[in-house]
Amino acid sequence: MFRTLMIASAMTVCATGAMAEGLVITKNGDRAGMMGSPDLFTGDVYVEMVFENKDPFVVNSGKVTFMPGARSNWHTHPAGQMLIVTEGTGWVQEEGKEKHVMQPGDVVWCPPGVKHWHGATDTTSVTHYAVQQFEDGKNVEWLEPVTDAQFTE
């Protein structure tokens, strides 16, 4: 129920903002992508920004593809994060808890301030859309890398 309300709220905000100035369509292939920074990720990660934080819609989104063994550093989000898995199989883990498998169609809600990581499994790639809201101009607090031991536990 909470996930449905979050998605419906986001769609309402997006639709309201879009109607105020008219539709803006960004075609597939027109968005720039880049390899994820080794300061923030382990392994090969490709990040394609989907949309930017533009007032009044204070969220942004990226399409992120993790190759086998790749993952984010530990991190938190001041206003939370939604992950929408579109391809492959990956893992997500909250600090101090067990890893969970993520597969296409899964939506993962990471509450504000919860330390977590996400990425591929050791043998499969995964792609997800990451959507995060800004709070006081910030949407993520990057922390230390996930060790190989933590990744394979």
Average pLDDT over residues 24-33: 86
In a domain, 10, yes or no: no
CATH number at residue 111: 2.60.120.10
pTM: 0.82
Q: Which residue has the tokens 């394609």?
A: 48
- pLDDT given for residue 43 in this prediction: 98
Please classify residue 93 by burial: count the beta carbons closer than 10 Å to its beta carbon, then call 0-12 exposed, 13-18 middle and 19+ buried.
buried
- pLDDT given for residue 20 in this prediction: 55
pLDDT digits (tens, 9 = 90+) for 63-85: 999 999 999 999 999 999 999 99
In a domain, 3, yes or no: no
* Angle CA 54–10–79, to nearest 5: 75
pLDDT digits (tens, 9 = 90+) for 44-59: 999 999 988 887 788 9
- pLDDT given for residue 16 in this prediction: 43
Strands in 126-133's sheet, in edge-to-edge order, are 33-35, 45-51, 59-66, 126-133, 81-88, 107-110
Q: Residue 135 to residues 53, 58, 107, 139: CA-CA distances in angstroms? A: 11, 8, 22, 6
Q: In angstroms, rounded to a whole number, what is the distance separating the alpha carbons of residues 23 and 20?
A: 9
Q: Residue 152 to residues 50, 94, 104, 122, 147: CA-CA distances in angstroms? A: 30, 14, 22, 8, 9
Please tell me which residue, 150 or 29, carries the higher pLDDT value.
150
Q: In angstroms, rounded to a whole number, what is the distance separating the alpha carbons of residues 82 and 97?
A: 18
- pLDDT given for residue 39 in this prediction: 97
In a domain, 58, yes or no: yes
Number of domains in the chain: 1
Which residues constitute the domain of residue 86?
32-152
In a domain, 128, yes or no: yes
- pLDDT given for residue 9 in this prediction: 43
Pair 53, 134: CB distance under 8 Å: yes
pLDDT digits (tens, 9 = 90+) for 93-139: 999 999 999 999 999 999 999 999 999 999 999 999 999 999 998 99
In a domain, 51, yes or no: yes
In a domain, 107, yes or no: yes
In a domain, 87, yes or no: yes
In a domain, 145, yes or no: yes
